[in-house]
Amino acid sequence: MIKEKKRVPKSDDVSLEGINGTIKIPKNASFWKKLTLYSGPGALVAVGYMDPGNWITSIAGGAEYKYSLLTVILLSSLIAMLLQSMAAKLGMVTGKDLAQMTRAKTNKSLGFALWVVNEMAIMATDIAEVIGGAIALQLLFGLPLLIGVLVTTFDVLLLLLLTRLGFRKIEAIVAALITVIFCVFAYEVAIADPNWGEVLEGFVPTVKIATDRSMLILALGIVGATVMPHNLYLHSSISQSRDFDRTDEKEMAEAVRFTTWDSNIQLSVAFIINCLLLILGGALFYGSNSDLGKFVDLYDALKNPTIVGDIASPLLSTLFAVALLASGQNSTITGTLSGQIVMEGFIRLKIPLWMRRIVTRLLAIIPVIICVILYGGNESAVENLLLYTQVFLSVALPISIIPLTLFTSDKKLMGNFVNPRWEKYLAWMITLILTILNLFLIYSTITVVN
């Protein structure tokens, strides 16, 4: 049995003091036992790479260009693996999460401004999960959207309960929900019976992605929306949940290695799920000329024989809604933890966990409730809020990845764990590309809305 121990923080500057250093890592444990003990944080991080906000883009990409954009998903996943490993390493080596480290290198005014931007980004993420959860409840149980939105506020109580049970329980629940999502889409792809030869060809880069403007825009959307800023703060904090001898460089190197494996394994699962989404879109909807821009459109299409043929059934639609609900719950857990990390790190304000979670969720549901009331429960109008949320995420990303790259490339901070030269240059190139892509997404979103 994995034991968690209570740990008294050595200072007021400990990240997530109720979680930090609570999971003991035995020195003489076997390789597989240690890998098991270090596994968990990667699952919480992987959630951000398969949240409801990414679903439409992946499925629509398959519906419009079949499997050609699988190479873009592969590239995005490799970028995510690098950035997340850097974030985890920063937290473990320095003992500070990304928010704390950024605040330590800035003044109070700038720290407050960065906190506001990141809080808005986390709220934007939470709005997407509220919308996804409410629509899933409507599809599954016929609940009016307004009632569904209100019901999503109670999942905060579930998170509070999980926190009292221990951090390993949170990791286990998240992993279980990821398994549900994986199984649903693996089953639906198996039923769709794609041409696997064509699927494999989709992982081979093609110049058409760069020459076809509409295809390029969709590819940029997939890459730019993949890395979520709150995931970097989250990983830099929860990577510190394992208790080992941080004064022993050998143990630190081992901890960084196992944590990186955990992250890469879980992000590989997220990569597979995103591929399944795009393959599903290509196998079922390519050439159908169907409008798949909303969750409800996808739900209806999966049970419509004129669109997906003989395999259409209410079961496929129901499973899709179940996966949507599971994804929303997962993202709620990680988004709330990220909010706590950002608040404590940037403005050094610590409030009771229950208060933080309730306030975060209430702030997220207010714009959704207003939209539901104004548009009379119209699902399309509510889902349009997702366009606005992407703007805040796009603004927050550069102010997350630039400091991350700076800090992990600083020899004075990282010592022997500093980024090697190849990783530093690659990280800066990725930082520049993602910043440009997200600026492009901001422009595209504003253009679409107007």
Asked if residue 94 is part of any domain, the answer here is yes
**Cα separation, 91 vs 75, whole angstroms:** 25
As given in the structure block, the two tokens for residue 268 are: 């590989």
What is the number of structural domains in the chain?
1
Instruction: Return the higher-pLDDT residue of 48 and 390.
Output: 48
Q: What is the pLDDT of residues 62-83, one digit of tens each?
A: 888 899 999 999 998 999 999 9
Please give the average per-residue pLDDT across 344-353, as a whole number: 80
Q: 311 in a domain, yes or no?
A: yes
**Section 276-286 average pLDDT:** 88
**pLDDT tens sequence across 379-409:** 666 666 665 666 667 677 888 999 999 999 9
Q: Give domain status of residue 159, yes or no.
A: yes
pLDDT of residue 92: 95
Is residue 435 assigned to a domain?
Answer: yes
pLDDT computed for residue 295 by the predictor: 77
20 located within any domain: no
User: Model confidence at 156, in pLDDT bands (50, 70, 90)?
Assistant: low
**Position 86 pLDDT exceeds 80:** yes
Which residues are CB-contacts of 344 (< 8 A; sequence separation ≥ 6)? Answer: 15, 16, 99, 100, 350
In a domain, 109, yes or no: yes
- Tokens 């079922």 locate to 284
DSSP string, 131-194: HHHHHHHHHHH---HHHHHHHHTTHHHHHHHHHHH-HHHHHHHHHHHHHHHHHHHHHHHHHH--
Q: In this structure, what CATH number is given to the domain that contains residue 160?
A: 1.20.1740.10
The per-residue pLDDT for 410 is 94
pTM of the model: 0.86
Its domain, for residue 228, covers 29-449
Q: Per the domain annotation, does 48 fall within a domain?
A: yes
C-alpha–C-alpha distance, residues 422 and 65, integer Å: 34
Residue 15 within any structural domain of the chain: no
